[in-house]
Structure 1
Amino acid sequence: MKRGIIMTLLVFVSMMLILVVPLAAAPLDTLNASDPLIPMQAWTLGPPSPFEYTRFDGVFVPGVEPWGNKVYFLGGRSGSATEDSTVWMFDPVTGIYTDTGADIVEDVSNYTASLIEDDGTGRGPAVYMIGGYDADNTVANIGTVQRYYPQSNLAEALPPADDWIVMVADNLVTAMGNAAVGNVIYVFGGWENITAPYFYNGTWVFDPSQPSGSRWTDLGLILSPGRSYIQVAIQSSIIYAMGGIDQYVGGDLVPTTIVEKLDTTNLSAGWTVSAPMPVASAEGRGFGFDHETVGVNEPWTGLAYVVGGGDWSESSAEAMEYLIGTDSWDQGFADLLNARRDHAGVFIPICTEDPNDGLPGMWVFGGHTTSDSPPFGPTEFYPMSCTGIPQVMLIPSYQDGSAIPGATAVYTVTLSNQIGFEDTFNIGYSSVFTITGPSTLGPVPNGSTVDFQVEVEVPSNTNCFEADLATITAEADSDPIYTDTAEIQTSVAPAGVGTLQGTISDSNTDLGIENAYFYINLGDQWYEAYTDPVGSYSITPVNSCEYVGLANAFGYFDKYGLPVNVTIGAPTTYDISLDASMPVLTGDPVSVVVLPDSTDTYNLTLNNKGTGELNFYITEVPSGTYPLPLFTDLSMPKGVDPQVYSDIAAAPDGTTKFIVYMQQQAELSAAYNMNWNQRGEYVLDTLRDVADKTQANLQMYLNQKGVSYESRYIVNALVVDGSLSLVNELASRPEVGFIGPNEAVPAPNPVSIDKTVESPEAIEWNILKITADQVWSGLGITGGGIRLSNMDTGVQWDHPALINQYRGWDGAVADHNYNWWDPYNQNTTEPTDADGHGTHTMGTMLGSDDPTDPINAANAIGVAPGAQWLACDGFDNNTGYGYDVELLECAEFLLAPWDLTGANPDPDMRPDIINNSWGGGQAQWWYNQAIYAWRAAGIMGVFSIGNAGSECETAGSPGDNANMLGVGATTSTDLIASFSSRGPAAVTGLTKPNVSAPGANIRSSVPGNNYEGGWSGTSMAAPHVAGTVALIWSAVPELRGDVQLTSWIIEQTAFGITTSQGCGGDLPDEIPNNVYGWGRINAYDAVSMAMAADWDTPWLEFDPFGGTIAPGASQNITLTFDTTGLVFGECYISNLKFEYNDPYVTEEFVPVEVCIGIPIFNINLPIIFR
Structure 2
Amino acid sequence: MPIGYVLASLAYRMDGSISIPGRIAAGLLAAMAFFWPMGLFDPDELSVVISSSTGELFSYAAGAASAAFGMGLIILILFLIFRNKIQNNLIPGLLGGGLFALAWGGLLILSFLGGIPGFHGEKSFVILKNQADLSTVNQIKDPVERRTAVYNNLVKHAEDSQQDLRTWLDEQGVEYTPYYLVNAVELDADPLLMYRLEHRGDVDRVLDSPILRPLRNEIPSSQGSVDGPELDPWNIDLIGADRVQSELNVRGAGIVIGQSDSGVQGDHPEIINQYRGKFDGMDDYNWFDPWFGSIKPVDIGGHGTHTLGSIVGKNTGVAPEAEWIACVNLARNLGNPAYYLDCMQFMLAPFPQDGNPFQDGKPEKGANVLNNSWGCPAVEGCDPETFIPAVRALKAAGIFVVASAGNTGMGGCSSVQDPLALYEDVYTVGAVDVNRNLAGFSSVGPVTVDGSNRTKPDIGAPGVNVVSSYPGSSYEMASGTSMAGPHVVGVVALMWSANPNLVGDIETTTRILNETADTYSGVFPGCALDGERPNNAVGYGIVNAYEAVQKALEVK
Q: TM-score range by the shorter chain?
A: 0.7 to 0.9
Give deviations 1:200-254, integer Å, cap 9, x for gaps: xxxxxxxxxxxxxxxxxxxxxxxxxxxxxxxxxxxxxxxxxxxxxxxxxxxxxxx
2:335 aligned with 1:882: yes
Please point out which of 930, 933, 943 is paired with 2:393. Answer: 933
Please point out which of 289, 305, 310 is paired with 1:839. Answer: 305
2:431 aligned with 1:969: yes
2:158 aligned with 1:691: yes
- In the TM superposition, what is the alpha-carbon distance from 1:833 to its structure 2 partner? 0.4
Give deviations 1:151-185, integer Å, cap 9, x for gaps: xxxxxxxxxxxxxx9xxx9546xxxxxxxxxxxxx
Q: Which residue of 1 aligns with 2:406?
A: 946
Please point out which of 440, 458, 463 is paired with 1:978. Answer: 440
Question: Do the aligned partners of residues 707 and 917 (structure 1) sit closer, same or farther apart at CA in structure 2, a change above 3 Å counting?
Answer: same
Question: Do the aligned partners of residues 787 and 1055 (structure 1) sit closer, same or farther apart at CA in structure 2, a change above 3 Å counting?
Answer: same
Q: Which residue of 2 aligns with 1:913?
A: 369
Trace 1:101-112 onto structure 2 (pairs within 5 A): none
Q: Which residue of 2 aligns with 1:602?
A: none
Give deviations 1:128-158, integer Å, cap 9, x for gaps: xxxxxx864433797xxxxxxxxxxxxxxxx
Instruction: State whether residues 983 and 991 of structure 1, in contact with CA within 8 Å, keep that contact through their aligned partners in structure 2.
Output: yes
Q: Which residue of 1 aligns with 2:146?
A: 679
Q: Which residue of 2 aligns with 1:1034?
A: 497
Question: Do the aligned partners of residues 1018 and 947 (structure 1) sit closer, same or farther apart at CA in structure 2, a change above 3 Å counting?
Answer: same
Q: Which residue of 1 aligns with 2:264?
A: 795
Please point out which of 865, 882, 899 is paired with 2:320. Answer: 865
- In the TM superposition, what is the alpha-carbon distance from 1:677 to its structure 2 partner? 1.6
Partners in 2 of 1:744 and 1:804 — Cα distance? 34
SS at match of 2:126: strand
Q: Any unmatched runs of 5+ in structure 2?
A: 1-90, 213-221
Question: Do the aligned partners of residues 822 and 1067 (structure 1) sit closer, same or farther apart at CA in structure 2, a change above 3 Å counting?
Answer: same
SS at match of 2:273: helix
Code of the residue aligned with 1:989 in structure 2: it is: N
Give deviations 1:621-670, integer Å, cap 9, x for gaps: xxxxxxxxxxxxxxxxxxxxxxxxxxxxxxx99x7411111111111122
Trace 1:492-641 onto structure 2 (pairs within 5 A): none
Indicate the RMSD between aligned Cα atoms, in angstroms.
2.9
- In the TM superposition, what is the alpha-carbon distance from 1:1025 to its structure 2 partner? 0.2
Give deviations 1:351-383, integer Å, cap 9, x for gaps: xxxxxxxxxxxxxxxxxxxxxxxxxxxxxxxxx
- In the TM superposition, what is the alpha-carbon distance from 1:759 to its structure 2 partner? 3.8
Partners in 1 of 2:274 and 2:228 — Cα distance? 22
Give deviations 1:963-984, integer Å, cap 9, x for gaps: 2111000111111111111111
Question: Do the aligned partners of residues 698 and 754 (structure 1) sit closer, same or farther apart at CA in structure 2, a change above 3 Å counting?
Answer: closer
Q: Which residue of 1 aligns with 2:350?
A: 897
Instruction: State whether residues 763 and 861 of structure 1, in contact with CA within 8 Å, keep that contact through their aligned partners in structure 2.
Output: no
Partners in 1 of 2:462 and 2:125 — Cα distance? 36
- In the TM superposition, what is the alpha-carbon distance from 1:1087 to its structure 2 partner? 1.0
2:531 aligned with 1:1069: yes
Q: Any unmatched runs of 5+ in structure 1?
A: 1-100, 109-133, 143-164, 173-651, 746-752, 849-859, 1095-1170
Instruction: State whether residues 310 and 316 of structure 2, in contact with CA within 8 Å, keep that contact through their aligned partners in structure 1.
Output: yes
Code of the residue aligned with 1:866 in structure 2: it is: E
Question: Do the aligned partners of residues 992 and 1083 (structure 1) sit closer, same or farther apart at CA in structure 2, a change above 3 Å counting?
Answer: same
Instruction: State whether residues 993 and 1077 of structure 1, in contact with CA within 8 Å, keep that contact through their aligned partners in structure 2.
Output: yes
Partners in 2 of 1:902 and 1:1007 — Cα distance? 28
- In the TM superposition, what is the alpha-carbon distance from 1:920 to its structure 2 partner? 4.0
Partners in 1 of 2:362 and 2:442 — Cα distance? 37
2:493 aligned with 1:1024: no
Code of the residue aligned with 2:535 in structure 1: it is: N
Please point out which of 90, 94, 104 is paired with 1:138. Answer: 104
- In the TM superposition, what is the alpha-carbon distance from 1:1045 to its structure 2 partner? 2.2
Question: Do the aligned partners of residues 836 and 754 (structure 1) sit closer, same or farther apart at CA in structure 2, a change above 3 Å counting?
Answer: closer
SS at match of 2:295: coil
- In the TM superposition, what is the alpha-carbon distance from 1:1080 to its structure 2 partner? 0.7
Partners in 2 of 1:798 and 1:974 — Cα distance? 33
Partners in 2 of 1:759 and 1:921 — Cα distance? 34
Question: Do the aligned partners of residues 980 and 1062 (structure 1) sit closer, same or farther apart at CA in structure 2, a change above 3 Å counting?
Answer: closer
Q: Which residue of 1 aligns with 2:517?
A: 1054
Trace 1:128-207 onto structure 2 (pairs within 5 A): 136-139=102-105, 171=117
- In the TM superposition, what is the alpha-carbon distance from 1:956 to its structure 2 partner? 3.5
Question: Do the aligned partners of residues 897 and 1026 (structure 1) sit closer, same or farther apart at CA in structure 2, a change above 3 Å counting?
Answer: same
- In the TM superposition, what is the alpha-carbon distance from 1:1044 to its structure 2 partner? 2.6
- In the TM superposition, what is the alpha-carbon distance from 1:790 to its structure 2 partner? 1.1
Q: Which residue of 2 aligns with 1:738?
A: 205
Q: How many residues align?
A: 441
Trace 1:22-421 onto structure 2 (pairs within 5 A): 136-139=102-105, 171=117
Code of the residue aligned with 1:719 in structure 2: it is: E
Instruction: State whether residues 230 and 467 of structure 2, in contact with CA within 8 Å, keep that contact through their aligned partners in structure 1.
Output: no
Partners in 2 of 1:932 and 1:107 — Cα distance? 64
Give deviations 1:594-635, integer Å, cap 9, x for gaps: xxxxxxxxxxxxxxxxxxxxxxxxxxxxxxxxxxxxxxxxxx
2:500 aligned with 1:1045: no
Partners in 1 of 2:512 and 2:252 — Cα distance? 17
Give deviations 1:278-305, integer Å, cap 9, x for gaps: xxxxxxxxxxxxxxxxxxxxxxxxxxxx
Indicate the percent of aligned positions where both proteins have the same amino acid.
Answer: 37
Question: Do the aligned partners of residues 1075 and 661 (structure 1) sit closer, same or farther apart at CA in structure 2, a change above 3 Å counting?
Answer: same
- In the TM superposition, what is the alpha-carbon distance from 1:913 to its structure 2 partner? 0.8
SS at match of 2:277: coil
Code of the residue aligned with 2:328 in structure 1: it is: D
Partners in 2 of 1:926 and 1:990 — Cα distance? 17
Partners in 1 of 2:372 and 2:300 — Cα distance? 18
Instruction: State whether residues 1058 and 1073 of structure 1, in contact with CA within 8 Å, keep that contact through their aligned partners in structure 2.
Output: no
Please point out which of 263, 274, 280 is paired with 1:805. Answer: 274
Instruction: State whether residues 808 and 815 of structure 1, in contact with CA within 8 Å, keep that contact through their aligned partners in structure 2.
Output: yes
Trace 1:990-1139 onto structure 2 (pairs within 5 A): 990-1012=454-476, 1014-1058=477-521, 1061=524, 1063-1064=526-527, 1066-1094=528-556
SS at match of 1:671: helix
Question: Do the aligned partners of residues 1077 and 917 (structure 1) sit closer, same or farther apart at CA in structure 2, a change above 3 Å counting?
Answer: same
Partners in 2 of 1:926 and 1:918 — Cα distance? 15
**Which structure: greater strand fraction?**
1
SS at match of 2:260: strand
Trace 1:747-762 onto structure 2 (pairs within 5 A): 756-762=225-231
With structure 2 as the length reference, what TM-score do the two structures score?
A: 0.74
Q: Which residue of 2 aligns with 1:778?
A: 247
SS at match of 1:661: strand
Instruction: State whether residues 661 and 715 of structure 1, in contact with CA within 8 Å, keep that contact through their aligned partners in structure 2.
Output: yes
SS at match of 2:253: coil
Partners in 2 of 1:1036 and 1:780 — Cα distance? 13
Q: Which residue of 1 aligns with 2:62?
A: none
Q: Which residue of 2 aligns with 1:51?
A: none
SS at match of 2:327: strand
SS at match of 1:1025: helix
**Which structure: greater helix fraction?**
2
Partners in 2 of 1:744 and 1:1063 — Cα distance? 38
Partners in 2 of 1:887 and 1:920 — Cα distance? 8
SS at match of 2:403: strand
With structure 1 as the length reference, what TM-score do the two structures score?
A: 0.36
Code of the residue aligned with 2:303 in structure 1: it is: H
Partners in 1 of 2:234 and 2:122 — Cα distance? 47
Partners in 1 of 2:161 and 2:106 — Cα distance? 47
Question: Do the aligned partners of residues 991 and 744 (structure 1) sit closer, same or farther apart at CA in structure 2, a change above 3 Å counting?
Answer: farther
Instruction: State whether residues 744 and 884 of structure 1, in contact with CA within 8 Å, keep that contact through their aligned partners in structure 2.
Output: no
Question: Do the aligned partners of residues 763 and 912 (structure 1) sit closer, same or farther apart at CA in structure 2, a change above 3 Å counting?
Answer: farther
- In the TM superposition, what is the alpha-carbon distance from 1:1048 to its structure 2 partner? 1.9
Q: Which residue of 1 aligns with 2:182?
A: 715
Question: Do the aligned partners of residues 972 and 829 (structure 1) sit closer, same or farther apart at CA in structure 2, a change above 3 Å counting?
Answer: same
Partners in 1 of 2:234 and 2:493 — Cα distance? 20
Partners in 1 of 2:316 and 2:232 — Cα distance? 7
Q: Which residue of 2 aligns with 1:121?
A: none
Instruction: State whether residues 867 and 1030 of structure 1, in contact with CA within 8 Å, keep that contact through their aligned partners in structure 2.
Output: yes
